[in-house]
A = this chain, B = another copy of it.
Amino acid sequence: MDINKALAAFFALSQQTRLDVFRLLVKAGADGLNAGEIAALLDVKQNTMSANLTVLLNAGMVRNERHGRTIRYFADFDAMRAVLSFLMEDCCGGRPELCQPVIDELACAC
Contacts and interface: CB of A to CB of B under 8 A. Distances in A.
Interface of A: 3, 6-7, 10-11, 13-16, 19-20, 22-23, 26-30, 77, 80-81, 83-85, 87-96, 98-103, 105-110
Contacts of A92: 108-110
A102 B90 contact: no
A15 B110 CA distance: 32
A98 B30 contact: yes
Given A13-B14, A89-B109, 19 more contacts: A3-B16, A6-B13, A10-B11, A10-B14, A10-B19, A23-B93, A26-B87, A29-B94, A29-B95, A29-B98, A77-B98, A77-B101, A77-B102, A81-B105, A81-B106, A84-B102, A91-B108, A92-B109, A99-B110
10 closest residue pairs by CB, A with B: A29-B95, A10-B14, A11-B14, A96-B110, A10-B13, A92-B110, A27-B94, A26-B90, A92-B109, A14-B14
